[in-house]
Structure 1
Amino acid sequence: MADIKILLVEDDKIEALGIKHILESLDYEVSIIKSHEEAIDEFFNIIPDFILMDTVQNGDNTANKLSSMIKKLNIPIIYLNAPFEESKTQNIGNKEPQEYINNPCDPIELKCAIELAIYKNQVENELNESEGRFRSLVENVEDVFVRYDLIT
């Protein structure tokens, strides 16, 4: 899995280092960014395969902009939630994450969630490509053939 680059957006340095340690022990390459705003600025320097992001950060209202950008680029994402803070997930709104996971993270749960999100993203991409090819075929068909079998 070393070929998978994860962008971790977490403003708490201790939590970020703990999660980074877990992810590196699972053989992921990890970059830590401390704010949503910084993530927007540095995103194309890192070009991650996957994003793990704190749901809401103090004083940071750029999360929707970042989430919108991530969605357009079709990158899987999991949001980190502090335990028992459901109110934070209500602020996510239209971000459409793959999944939420509580922080602190259980390493096995985190690994499964990441692998599932990446797999789901790959399947959705393949489905969209297949749908596009089928749509193109149907839209470009010039003749329609109909075969009737008359049984008398």
Structure 2
Amino acid sequence: MGDVKILVVEDEAVTGMDIRRSLTELGYSVCAIATTGELAVRKAGELHPDLILMDIMLAGKMTGIEAAEIIKQQYHIPVVYLTAYSDDSFLTKAKLTEPFGYILKPFRELELKTTIEMALYKYAMEHALRISEETTRVLLNATEDYLFLIDTNGRFLAANLALARKTGKNVQEFIGTNVSDLVEQGFLSPHMAVWNVNVTQKTPIHFEEEFKTVWFETSIYPVVNLEGQVVLFAVSIRDVTRNKTIEEQSRQNEEFFRSLIEETSDIIAILNRDGTLRHESPSMTKTLGYAPEQIVEKPLSDIIPEEDVPVFNRILGEIIDNPGIVKPVRMRIRDRAGLAHIMEGIISNLYGNPVIDGIVLNGWIRTE
């Protein structure tokens, strides 16, 4: 408690000294005693106390209530009223400043200590909550995804800037309105607006949907209260049109590439980094006599004569270390009957290629 600085605001000198003595005996540090509201505001800005004990009726033009309101707005320092006034008119005005306590004079030291400790604890919790809320706000607005929170009746409790920009609204304009408005205005589909989702649904829902020629990925997260009831839905909507376009282009490219290798008479093999065979052209199995299941997902070195394996591994290592490189290759390879053949061709590193993404071996075989 010795680290807790308290500013006392009291216009009676004797009373102020008594309060300082009581606080010191309780283990607190009194950083100053202000006798007017104006001085209290100035000292709050200069000293930044942890808490202010504020009398309501003070010398000068400014009351303690007026000083407390200014201090709350400018410095966010918790205020506890310590006053002899208890009638309803004072209490009503004092409550508007949201004080952290109200102690009537004459006070008992135990009451003073308890009120101060509760005020400090409440202020710490509110401060932590404000930081948490600000962190949440920053995270919500750090993405171009549409994020919002609605209750089970579809009323908005929160929304991020991305959704606000999409709809041409201010974030605060969403609060209290219904998500069905965005469906009617054509900004969201009914599925995105959580229509037809059972309020007993407690597991997240994920789906993709094409809406007005744009593909969206929507995730709906039910929020459950302590009684196990779904009370809110957190919704995330992401534009995945570009991903869909890339996927479709990759699929078409892959089909085109597959049709090419199936028609070619050359041997084409796609290898993983460890030298295992991921995919082979029909001409390879036809020439060597292996069924696909006998060589696919197995090391290519299994069908290379043992004395040639070190050469193959050296070439593979060079290719892996140099993306985009193309090297000529000449090595022996065995067919299913064990007969060795010479394979000549090229090997290249096409990792990163959206279609192939592997090591490509392209060659032809002649009998040794």
Q: Normalised by the size of structure 2, how large is the TM-score?
A: 0.37
In structure 2, relative to structure 1, the CA distance for the partners of 1:82 and 1:123 (3 Å cut) is: same
Task: Tell me which protein shows more strand as a share of its residues.
Answer: 2
In structure 2, relative to structure 1, the CA distance for the partners of 1:41 and 1:138 (3 Å cut) is: closer
Deviation digits for residues 52-84 of structure 1, max 9, x if unmatched?
000122553353542233212121110012165
Deviation digits for residues 3-43 of structure 1, max 9, x if unmatched?
11100000111211111111000111112111112222333
Cα distance in 2 for partners of 1:121, 1:93 equals: 16
Q: CA deviation at 1:121?
A: 0.6
Task: Tell me which protein shows more helix as a share of its residues.
Answer: 1
Deviates more, 1:65-74 or 1:11-20: 65-74
* RMSD, aligned α-carbons: 2.3
Output the amino acid matched with 1:108: L
In structure 2, relative to structure 1, the CA distance for the partners of 1:129 and 1:102 (3 Å cut) is: same
Output the amino acid matched with 2:41: I
Deviates more, 1:79-88 or 1:34-43: 79-88
Any unmatched runs of 5+ in structure 2? 147-204, 208-368
Output the amino acid matched with 1:147: H
- Provide the residue aligned with 1:109 in structure 2: 111
SS in 1 for 2:14: helix
Any unmatched runs of 5+ in structure 1? none
Cα distance in 2 for partners of 1:61, 1:93 equals: 17
Deviation digits for residues 65-120 of structure 1, max 9, x if unmatched?
42233212121110012165444334436322111101122111111100111110
Structure with larger RCO (C-alpha < 8 A, sep 6+): 1
- Provide the residue aligned with 1:118 in structure 2: 120
Output the amino acid matched with 1:139: N
Deviates more, 1:81-90 or 1:4-13: 81-90
Question: Is the 1:8–1:33 contact (alpha carbons within 8 Å) kept by the matching residues of 2?
Answer: yes
Deviates more, 1:128-137 or 1:92-101: 92-101
Q: 1:1-152 residue pairs with structure 2 within 5 A?
A: 1-30=1-30, 31-72=32-73, 73-82=75-84, 84-92=86-94, 94-143=96-145, 147=206
- Provide the residue aligned with 2:257 in structure 1: none
Number of positions where the alignment pairs a residue of Structure 1 with one of Structure 2? 148
Question: Is the 2:11–2:35 contact (alpha carbons within 8 Å) kept by the matching residues of 1?
Answer: yes
In structure 2, relative to structure 1, the CA distance for the partners of 1:69 and 1:83 (3 Å cut) is: closer
Deviates more, 1:121-130 or 1:88-97: 88-97
In structure 2, relative to structure 1, the CA distance for the partners of 1:59 and 1:44 (3 Å cut) is: closer
